[in-house]
Amino acid sequence: MEHLTVELVHQFLSGQMHSADECRWRAHLDECARCRELVENERTWNSMLNLGEADDPAKPTAMERVLDRVEHVVPQRRTRRRRRLVALLGGWTLAALLTALLVWQVSYPPGTTDPDAATSVAHELRTETVAHLDELRALERDPWLLDDYETVKTLDDLIREYRP
């Protein structure tokens, strides 16, 4: 006894079978429980996947829609992941740069752009000189203050103290 194959079931369900064959298989199905089960199973699968719509060639089949969706979703996911990764890396890079800038600013404040030892000493010497500019000018006018101030001051005290 001849039974339906999956291929024949497809033809049967999609209406692509010759009418004579269809009548013959319908009669067979009335008698054969195994072929009936095969047809039922196939019909259930078709309805689940909505393959019946495949009759309209303009409309994409369920499988095509699934594949189409997969093609769209997978690259989107990849792009999103890549974008997230780029944002994360960019963020951490920016944070690292800002930290480096912070360290640089603390290490080399404005005015010490050339932070070698000689420049630093020269800068300090200049600042000290400016701070003592009045005294340096006094010493310039009266250089004897350096060596003879104590002598002169003591002499002055003596004259005042032992005034006749």
Partner 1 sequence: MRTARGAILTMLILLLAALDVAIYVGQREAHRSAEQGPEWDTWRKLSEPARAEYTRRYQELLSQGRDQHALSRARRFARLTLDEQARLRALHGIVLDVLRRQPAVERRDLLRASPRARAFFVYQFLNDEMRQRLRQLEPTAETG
Residue with tokens 């404005």: 110
CB proximity list for 68: less than 8 A, separation 6 or greater: 60
Which contacts of 23-28 are long-range, i.e. CB under 8 A and separated by 24 or more positions?
28/2, 28/3, 28/4
Element (H, E) at 98: helix 62-107
Q: Which of 3, 34, 69, 132 binds partner 1 (CB under 8 A)?
A: 132
Q: How far apart are CA 72 and CA 79, in angstroms?
A: 11
- The answer to whether 136 contacts partner 1 (rule: CB under 8 A) is yes
- The answer to whether 6 contacts partner 1 (rule: CB under 8 A) is no
Q: Which of 14, 47, 76, 105 binds partner 1 (CB under 8 A)?
A: 105
- The answer to whether 99 contacts partner 1 (rule: CB under 8 A) is yes
- The answer to whether 50 contacts partner 1 (rule: CB under 8 A) is no
- The answer to whether 63 contacts partner 1 (rule: CB under 8 A) is no
Q: Which of 33, 110, 117, 118 binds partner 1 (CB under 8 A)?
A: 110
Q: What burial class does residue 12 get, using C-beta atoms within 10 Å of its C-beta: 0-12 exposed, 13-18 middle, 19+ buried?
A: buried
Only segment of 10-18, 25-33, 35-43, 107-115 that touches partner 1 (CB under 8 A): 107-115
Only segment of 22-30, 44-52, 71-79, 141-149 that touches partner 1 (CB under 8 A): 141-149
| Nearest residue to 39 (alpha-carbon basis) of 51, 50, 52, 26 | 26
CB 74 within 8 A of CB 82: no
What is the smallest separation between the CB atom of 129 and partner 1, expressed in angstroms?
5
- The answer to whether 44 contacts partner 1 (rule: CB under 8 A) is no
Contacts with partner 1 by CB under 8 A lie at 84, 87-88, 91-92, 94-95, 98-99, 101-102, 105-106, 109-111, 125-140, 142, 144-146, 148-156, 158-160, 162-164
